[in-house]
Amino acid sequence: MVHTSLVQDGRILRERYVLERELGQGGAGVVYHAFDLVDEREVAIRVIGDHPGRDLLEVGLRYEAKQVRGLEHPGLVPIFEFNRDGDLLFLVMPLLEGRTLRDLLLPGPLPIPLAAEIGRQVAEVLAHAHGEGVIHRDLKPENLNLSMVDGALHVRVMDFGLSPIADVQAAGEGSQAALSMGTPEYLAPEQVWGGDTDPRTDLYALGLLLYECIVGRPPFVGTGQAVLQAITEATPVRPAVLRTDLPRALDLLVVELLAKDPSRRPGDAGDVAKRLSLYADGSTAATLLIEPARSRGAWTLGGEADARTMLGKAIGRDRELRALDARLTTARSSRLQLVLLSGAIGMGKTTLLDELVLACQQRSIELLRTRADEDHGRLGPFEEVLTAGMARRPEAAGDLVEIAADLVEVFPALNREGLGELASRREPDPQLFAGLSAAAPRRRPRRGVRTEVTRELSPRERVDMLIVRAVEALVADGRPLALTIDDAHLCGETVELVELLFRRLPHSPLLIVVAYQDDGLPPNHALRRLERCLRAHPRCLRQRLGPIAPERYDRLLAQFLGSEQPELDLAESLHHQSGGRPLFARELVRAALESGLLIRREGSWYLDAALWPVPRSLRVQLAGTLNELEDGLVTALRTGSVLAVGSGGFELGHLAELHTRPRNLLVRQLEHAVNRGMLTEHREGGAVVYRFSSEVLRRVIHDDIHEAARRKLHRFCAARLRKIIRGEEDVARDDALFAHLLEAGELADARTWAVALAQRAAAEHRPLRALSKLSALLEVADSLPAVERAELYLASAELELMRKEHGGALSALQRLAATLDESDDSRLEQLGTRGAGLARTMGKRQLADRLLGLRPQDGHSAELELAAKVELAALRPVSSARSMSVGDNHFMHGELSRAREAYENARRRAKSERDLDEELRQLCNLSRVASKLGHYESALNYCREGLELVGSRRTVERVGLWAQAAETHCAAGFLDRAWGELQAGGADLETYPREPRTPERDAVAAALERSAGALFLARGEAEAAIEAYERCLALNAGQQRWTASSVRLHLAQARALAGDASGALRSLERAAKDKGAMGDRRGLARTYCLRVRIMRDLGMIEDASDILDAARDLVKVLDEPRLFALVHVEYGRHLLLGARVPEAGGAARRARDMASRAGAQAELARAEELLGLVALTEGRPEDARRHAGEAVTIADKLGMREVSIGGLLVMAEASPAGGRPELLARARSESEVLGNPFRELDVA
């Protein structure tokens, strides 16, 4: 087993993989999130610690890893590398997104098509692997990764190649070793008894996976030894027994896969995939994968826990659920309970039944679920119930010996479920079936009489009694049973049988739940009779599901959409549309998600449309309801749907105006609609008003009208409303008028009205009122001129900002920007300027630039960086700056050995041509390269060689050599010597007249100033450095661009040190521009780093993000550890300030490792300082002190006062109160010497 203490976060394996944090542990090791320093990517690493027989294990794993590397299948997670680091064996794998099957199974079983799809994909992977001779041997839900790829479910099998671990463990102590693996439930029988494993072992595991997906738990659960015994001996309960809607073929397949004897299992995983594909459909996966686990929560047994968890799915039905729960408890004590669950279509009856299923599963109460339909008649549901019941409780057959033949005669399906054999012993009653099929006289069963009847029963009554006897047998042993019949309104006669059971078996542990739609149920329907008869019966509960209250919709939406917050008014609009019906709400949300209109922006959900799209399924369902209505009523409803646009209701008087039918008839027809739950009747201001029960229903009816007729009606309504309003303020009528104008296609009028409304809303600070109207208008506004549309977008953005909805405002401004591109109208420019103002207040500079019509290069936006980045990435080093010498070009691109070669060639050429000045210049260059490489002695030798060459000759290049020597000494840390050389150079230079100016003199004078600047910078004398660099730039004007850009970078450094942040930024901007134009990616990355540092001092943290991203992209293509470390330190600091502490720690560690590998002390000090800060933030003061102490030591050595101050501050904060003053005093004195006001602020 692995000891986690051996593998601490931050440890580097094989000097390549940095272990960043633990992801999980299992029998096969600990999995870490790691960073690959070589390929610079995030990976997952499974570290396998000490195992018995580790040598054998290593050989096995190496062999398996090699084999797995040979497998190529999209459903298989590859192994990048297998290796060892000291005692640790480890496997490197890709880091996967998505969830494991275990996560998906936590809340309960999966939809059957999804389970089949998962099984199919796994079977295909297994078929491929088995074909290559590789066996998994440890397949379980934790090893399956599920994700969505291009909208389709993608299952990937993990941990192929780890079977040697299982082998080693199994070789330990037999079954005890199997137990030690931690997941005995997923072992095949042959693994338990230590037999040979082959591909069929994996098929057994596939059977287990399918079983768990379908049923919600593995076939054998319990404590260790008992499970192992069950695996080898017990027959699992068939999945169809626990899940009544499971297709028989799937049930058989799972049973076959779970055969104890491997030879009885299917021979090939490919065949299994084919058999599963018939039932497979992964379309529900997307919802489940984004759905948080808790939202599919189920009932649990127990007092308080019930109240909390029983509301997992059926939101807003707390009362009903509690009542059902109470009835379930009562039924368990042998008191048959009947629950009549009614409600209109879409009210959530089926969802409640789903919850009941889960409740029963958790309480180990068996539940038989069926539904009534017209095709299978009154006995249909009972055939299903009895078949499933006999399958689950075969022992009940013993009580049915006498009537077995009759039962099989009536229900042939029972023949295969245990009763078959009994039935064959005796002939069925010849009269039974004949009598049944004939029109037998119907008699109501006599109440209060049990099976001992004395009179002759009719064949129908005898069949009824058979059913009663059969159900009685099912519960004869006292084990409770729940029975649910959905859609009971479709077959009233089934209900009569339910009533019979209710009366005949009062002392049975039975709960019968009958769910039905009660709207439009005739008064003489069996259900109505049952409702009347049992209204007050103590064993009967009548539950009528009404609409869900609006305040519950927040939770409902959260359930549909996951944990993210929906926008404020989203729940309200969904409630309005769905009329409080959860099924409608769910369908609407699903349709909006599928059509991409419901989008997540800045952490909240937002409907990017004025109306929720109505899915086809809902339209078909509602159209079906309409088809049942008489024509006159449908016509009235259609007209009503037009009148109700905008307000949701219509007055009877208005409807009567448009209809020729007598008012009384109309009222009667509308009453019918009210009874069917389609309308609700109100009395408002003396008039009778009808409202549609849901906006979706109104829209479906409305959309059913022919377009021309619809528009005509709307125009009529708009004209009538105009007459009524006539300047009066009436919000409701205004809204209705606007809606009619939109529907009538009178967009110009609607626009004028909407703009006026928006202005009013803005003045009254009531943005919501106008926003929905604007959004509705904009959806159909394509035909309006661009200026008018732009005006509407701008108004939307202003109103959204007023209610602080940045997401909505941003969307409106983006659309405004798109509209501006359509035309050159000068009025659009004005709107663009106003839009840009809004964008700026939201901190969206790029958008503001776009709205102002600026191209990326016009503004200092991130787009500039992006464009430069793309250009730079395309540049080849040699072609980047034609005017530069080859050596300089190589130097600039960090190709130092090639640069040295080029300078050597140039020197040889100059020597052969006897051009002393050129030779001296090349010696300077060579010294520069050597200094850059850290070969200071060699660099100084080049200078000495040059000076000896010059001898007593008079040449200005001698000054250049002095300057170069000073720079080398500066870089090597010998500041005194550098000062002496600068003095010597300066004195020499003075011997050359300043006027007239010569390029040669200027060049060496500039070099001298640059060296002086470097010296002052190293001494921390910022002002002097600034002056020196400025003089250097003045001398260098118009000459070497590359040198100038580098000097500007140093100048910026000096200005930053002096606290002149804006001056530094100016210099950096210029330097970045030059470096960008020349393709100096290294210089550019340095420029970015410094810029980020200065911006941080100015508090421009968010603005620095884009620049940092650009810098990170640059270092990705540059192979320079020092730069990598520098950029990652800045990135880590940025992350830390942004409260992303773990990521900041990761970046700091990467920077530290890279810096220490490259021997870059300055970067190492910065990285250590950052690590100290991270540790301090994470509450690890000892670590913080250690890291900061390290940083201070290195910084002191290098004279990096800024880092030293930072480190001392961290140490002070991490130290006990007593030690702080001393550290702070040190920081203060350092800060005083440095003279940087920002650091002074830090200390203060």
Give residues with Cβ within 8 angstroms of 102, minimum separation 6: 140, 141, 142
Rounded to the nearest angstrom, the gap between the alpha carbon of residue 1054 and the centroid of all alpha carbons in its chain is 45
- The piece of 305-313, 761-769, 1004-1012, 1131-1139 that touches other proteins (CB under 8 A) is 1131-1139
The contact mask relative to other proteins for 910-949 (x = CB under 8 A, - = no) is ----------------------------------------
Cβ–Cβ under 8 Å, residues 36 and 42 = yes
Binds other proteins by CB under 8 A, chosen from 843, 999, 1219, 1221: 843
Give residues with Cβ within 8 angstroms of 551, minimum separation 6: none
- The piece of 677-685, 849-857, 1042-1050, 1135-1143 that touches other proteins (CB under 8 A) is 1135-1143
Residue among 449 and 1241 whose Cβ is closer to other proteins: 1241
Rounded to the nearest angstrom, the gap between the alpha carbon of residue 636 and the centroid of all alpha carbons in its chain is 47
| Closest to 721 measured CA to CA, from 644, 639, 612 | 644
Q: Is 862 in the site for other proteins (CB under 8 A)?
A: no
Provide the minimum distance between the beta carbon of 1244 and other proteins in the complex, in angstroms, as a whole number. Answer: 5
Q: Is 1098 in the site for other proteins (CB under 8 A)?
A: yes
Binds other proteins by CB under 8 A, chosen from 255, 286, 652, 1101: 1101
| Binding-site size, other proteins (CB under 8 A) | 25
C-alpha–C-alpha distance, residues 688 and 676, integer Å: 18
Cβ–Cβ under 8 Å, residues 497 and 527 = no
- The piece of 848-856, 1038-1046, 1090-1098, 1199-1207 that touches other proteins (CB under 8 A) is 1090-1098
- The piece of 198-206, 717-725, 1110-1118, 1132-1140 that touches other proteins (CB under 8 A) is 1132-1140
Task: Collapse the DSSP code of 1015 into the 3-class scheme (helix H, G, I; strand E, B; otherwise coil) and give the result.
Answer: helix
Provide the minimum distance between the beta carbon of 1139 and other proteins in the complex, in angstroms, as a whole number. Answer: 4
Provide the minimum distance between the beta carbon of 528 and other proteins in the complex, in angstroms, as a whole number. Answer: 55
Provide the minimum distance between the beta carbon of 1101 and other proteins in the complex, in angstroms, as a whole number. Answer: 4
Q: Is 1139 in the site for other proteins (CB under 8 A)?
A: yes
Q: What angle do CA 161, 148, 806 make, to 5 degrees?
A: 135
Any alpha helices (H) in 279-429, and if so which ranges? 285-290, 303-309, 318-332, 349-362, 380-392, 404-410, 419-424
Rounded to the nearest angstrom, the gap between the alpha carbon of residue 924 and the centroid of all alpha carbons in its chain is 57
Binds other proteins by CB under 8 A, chosen from 529, 576, 760, 1096: 1096
Provide the minimum distance between the beta carbon of 1102 and other proteins in the complex, in angstroms, as a whole number. Answer: 3
Residue among 679 and 839 whose Cβ is closer to other proteins: 839
Cβ–Cβ under 8 Å, residues 765 and 802 = yes
C-alpha–C-alpha distance, residues 591 and 578, integer Å: 13
Provide the minimum distance between the beta carbon of 1058 and other proteins in the complex, in angstroms, as a whole number. Answer: 11
C-alpha–C-alpha distance, residues 888 and 391, integer Å: 86
C-alpha–C-alpha distance, residues 405 and 397, integer Å: 11
Q: Is 1059 in the site for other proteins (CB under 8 A)?
A: yes
- The piece of 7-15, 103-111, 537-545, 1055-1063 that touches other proteins (CB under 8 A) is 1055-1063
Residue among 885 and 1177 whose Cβ is closer to other proteins: 1177
Provide the minimum distance between the beta carbon of 1056 and other proteins in the complex, in angstroms, as a whole number. Answer: 12
Q: Is 1136 in the site for other proteins (CB under 8 A)?
A: yes
C-alpha–C-alpha distance, residues 241 and 396, integer Å: 15
Residue among 67 and 1105 whose Cβ is closer to other proteins: 1105
Residue among 732 and 1241 whose Cβ is closer to other proteins: 1241
Residue among 89 and 1026 whose Cβ is closer to other proteins: 1026
Q: Is 1097 in the site for other proteins (CB under 8 A)?
A: yes
- The piece of 621-629, 678-686, 888-896, 1233-1241 that touches other proteins (CB under 8 A) is 1233-1241
Instruction: Give the Cβ contact number of residue 51 at 10 Å.
Output: 20
Task: Describe the strand order of the beta sheet including 152-157 as a list of residue ranges.
Answer: 99-100, 144-149, 152-157
Residue among 192 and 1092 whose Cβ is closer to other proteins: 1092
CB burial readout 937-967, b (16+ within 10 A) else e: eebbebbebbbebbeeeebbbbbbbbbbbbb
The CA-atom distances, in angstroms, between 247 and each of 277, 1036, 1223 are: 13, 85, 75
- The piece of 357-365, 719-727, 1018-1026, 1133-1141 that touches other proteins (CB under 8 A) is 1133-1141
- The piece of 175-183, 601-609, 997-1005, 1092-1100 that touches other proteins (CB under 8 A) is 1092-1100
Q: Is 1241 in the site for other proteins (CB under 8 A)?
A: yes
Q: Is 1244 in the site for other proteins (CB under 8 A)?
A: yes
Binds other proteins by CB under 8 A, chosen from 255, 949, 1141, 1158: 1141
Binds other proteins by CB under 8 A, chosen from 729, 1062, 1216, 1218: 1062
Helices and strands per DSSP (H, E), number in the chain: 58, 20
Q: Is 584 in the site for other proteins (CB under 8 A)?
A: no
Q: What are phi and psi of 24, to 5 degrees?
A: 175, 165
Cβ–Cβ under 8 Å, residues 113 and 279 = yes
Q: What angle do CA 1002, 1003, 1005 make, to 5 degrees?
A: 60
Is 1113 an annotated catalytic residue?
no
C-alpha–C-alpha distance, residues 612 and 609, integer Å: 7
**Burial of 486 by CB count in 10 Å (0-12 exposed, 13-18 middle, 19+ buried)?**
buried
Provide the minimum distance between the beta carbon of 857 and other proteins in the complex, in angstroms, as a whole number. Answer: 25
Number of residues that this document lists for the chain: 1244
Residue among 685 and 1099 whose Cβ is closer to other proteins: 1099
The contact mask relative to other proteins for 952-981 (x = CB under 8 A, - = no) is ------------------------------
C-alpha–C-alpha distance, residues 530 and 448, integer Å: 17
58, amino acid identity: E
Binds other proteins by CB under 8 A, chosen from 283, 329, 1105, 1161: 1105
**Burial of 985 by CB count in 10 Å (0-12 exposed, 13-18 middle, 19+ buried)?**
buried
Q: Is 874 in the site for other proteins (CB under 8 A)?
A: no
Per-position DSSP letters for 63-77, written without gaps between them: HHHHHHHT---TTB-
Task: Collapse the DSSP code of 265 into the 3-class scheme (helix H, G, I; strand E, B; otherwise coil) and give the result.
Answer: coil
Residue among 1088 and 1238 whose Cβ is closer to other proteins: 1238
Q: Is 1138 in the site for other proteins (CB under 8 A)?
A: yes
- The piece of 14-22, 176-184, 187-195, 1101-1109 that touches other proteins (CB under 8 A) is 1101-1109
Residue among 1004 and 1243 whose Cβ is closer to other proteins: 1243
Instruction: Name the β-bridge partners of 99.
Output: 146
Residue among 275 and 844 whose Cβ is closer to other proteins: 844
Task: Identify residues 290-329 at the interface with other proteins (CB under 8 A).
Answer: none
Q: Is 1137 in the site for other proteins (CB under 8 A)?
A: yes
Provide the minimum distance between the beta carbon of 20 and other proteins in the complex, in angstroms, as a whole number. Answer: 20
C-alpha–C-alpha distance, residues 712 and 727, integer Å: 24
Q: What angle do CA 308, 310, 316 make, to 5 degrees?
A: 95
Q: Is 1237 in the site for other proteins (CB under 8 A)?
A: yes
Catalytic residue among 85, 138, 519, 703: 138
Q: Is 1088 in the site for other proteins (CB under 8 A)?
A: no
The contact mask relative to other proteins for 795-834 (x = CB under 8 A, - = no) is ----------------------------------------
Name the residues that contact other proteins, by CB under 8 A.
Answer: 843, 1059, 1061-1062, 1096-1103, 1105, 1136-1141, 1177, 1237-1238, 1241-1242, 1244
Residues annotated as catalytic are 138
